[in-house]
Structure 1
Amino acid sequence: MELAAPGWSLSESGARRLRFLAVQLVGAVAVVHLVVGLAGFLEILANGLLTLYLTEYVFERPRTLLFTVSGVAILAGMAATARGRLDLRRAYLLGMAILAGYLVGWLAWHTVFDHGTVLAGGAPAETTHSHGGLVATLASHYVDPLLETLSAAGSGTPGSGRTLLGVVSVTLELAGLVVLGLLARGDPALSRPVRLGDGLLVGREEDSDPD
């Protein structure tokens, strides 16, 4: 994969590979959030609390609804792009906006919203869960859990599945944001009509790009 110096334009083969990677990353992010959101809804339904949740608690615990809706929206957008109903530039920008929204929401949830305590009208915990700023939040909610999970896996001790899922999700979102940013900046397909599905055929014979 090469970048042409004058306009930061990706080569045809490089763009095609990045499109394929973008589909995997963004698709994985959508599935993770959809699964977590649906699991939350199933738990709510099992306890007969759906109406109560939607009418009284959705603003206090919005992640279940937001994860489900956004996951469906991402998959729908990917399908629309593959069918040529959504142009690539708009798809890239929308994808970047959603991924950035996930990351900002993740940071806000663990800082200013104090895991939903503020949304529920309660005071942030001052003694039991101090985050100590952005860097400390990243360390305590991303770096430390990642290291602990790897350490537990190496010693044969089961780690926290939910913790690992959160770390994986943030990693996928960051990687997806970078890949979509590169495509939005230098995908040569932006200057001509093309479907996202065309970019998944990495080994097409009609592509004569030598690199």
Structure 2
Amino acid sequence: MDKGTVRVLEFIAAQLVLISVGVHLFLGIPRVLIYARPSAVSYYLNSAAFPDPRPFLFTVSAVVVLVGLYALFNGLLPRKNLYLLGIAMMCTYIGSWVLWHTVVNHGQVFLAAGGHTHGGGILTTVIQHLVEVPLDAASKLSEAGAALIFGLLYWKTD
């Protein structure tokens, strides 16, 4: 694959990754700030309650992904390694999202409580979330697109 095509594909993948990063920061930062309030910290330290881990994971992972993009466009690490890391991160986002909304039942598994459930199987639940939650659709479709492009780049470049 010629250098110009590689650059265009990297640029497209970066735009898709930035959509995902934007969604994760949009959802993560406000909730992290809520959890960081002294009253919230005191509540969680003095009770058996456990905060939703996703805002922390969203924020930290989004920053890590931004560092990866910076490394890619500044030649700090071998491109093929960064392509693999990009594939891994995008697939981790997608896989974690599927697990959270199906197997983990929105965290209810950890609380041994009933809570929110879905009527169908995994595929029905995933489709339902993609249709009903536009941010989920934007994030997951951009992550899938980025993973596919990173895979193509890994496969077709030296």
What TM-score, normalized by structure 2, do the two folds share?
Answer: 0.86
Aligned residues: 156
**Of 54, 57, 72, which residue of structure 1 is paired with 2:50?**
57
Q: Indicate how the Cα distance of structure 1 residues 63 and 130 shifts in structure 2: closer, same or farther if over 3 A, else same.
A: same
Matched, 1:141 2:132: no
**Of 65, 77, 84, which residue of structure 2 is paired with 1:93?**
84
Matched, 1:130 2:121: no
**Of 100, 103, 107, which residue of structure 2 is paired with 1:112?**
103
Matched, 1:27 2:18: yes
Following TM superposition, by how much is the alpha carbon of 1:14 offset from its aligned partner in structure 2, in angstroms?
A: 2.3
Following TM superposition, by how much is the alpha carbon of 1:52 offset from its aligned partner in structure 2, in angstroms?
A: 5.0
More helix per residue: 2
Structure 2: where are the runs of 5+ without partners? none
Structure number with larger C-alpha Rg: 1
Higher alpha-carbon deviation: 43-52 or 85-94: 43-52
Q: Is the 8 A contact 1:77 1:86 kept in 2?
A: no
Spell out structure 1 runs of 4+ moving beyond 4 A: 51-56
The one-letter amino acid paired with 1:185 is: W
Q: Is the 8 A contact 1:111 1:131 kept in 2?
A: no
1:151-206: CA deviation from partner (whole Å, max 9, x where unpaired): xxxxxxxxxxxx2211111111111111111111112xxx3xxxxxxxxxxxxxxx
Aligned positions of 1:154-169 closer than 5 A: 163-169=133-139
CA distance in 1, matches of 2:44, 2:7: 44
Tell me which residue corresponds to 2:34.
43
Q: For the aligned residues, what is the CA RMSD? A: 2.2
Following TM superposition, by how much is the alpha carbon of 1:46 offset from its aligned partner in structure 2, in angstroms?
A: 4.5
What TM-score, normalized by structure 1, do the two folds share?
Answer: 0.66
Q: Is the 8 A contact 1:118 1:124 kept in 2?
A: no
Tell me which residue corresponds to 1:18.
9
CA distance in 2, matches of 1:179, 1:25: 10
Query: What percentage of aligned pairs have identical amino acids?
Result: 33
Matched, 1:179 2:131: no
Following TM superposition, by how much is the alpha carbon of 1:11 offset from its aligned partner in structure 2, in angstroms?
A: 3.5
Structure 1: where are the runs of 5+ without partners? 1-9, 146-162, 192-211
Q: Indicate how the Cα distance of structure 1 residues 176 and 44 shifts in structure 2: closer, same or farther if over 3 A, else same.
A: same
1:89-144: CA deviation from partner (whole Å, max 9, x where unpaired): 1111111101100111111111111111112232465xxx33421221122111x3
The one-letter amino acid paired with 1:66 is: L
Q: Indicate how the Cα distance of structure 1 residues 86 and 123 shifts in structure 2: closer, same or farther if over 3 A, else same.
A: same
CA distance in 1, matches of 2:88, 2:45: 26
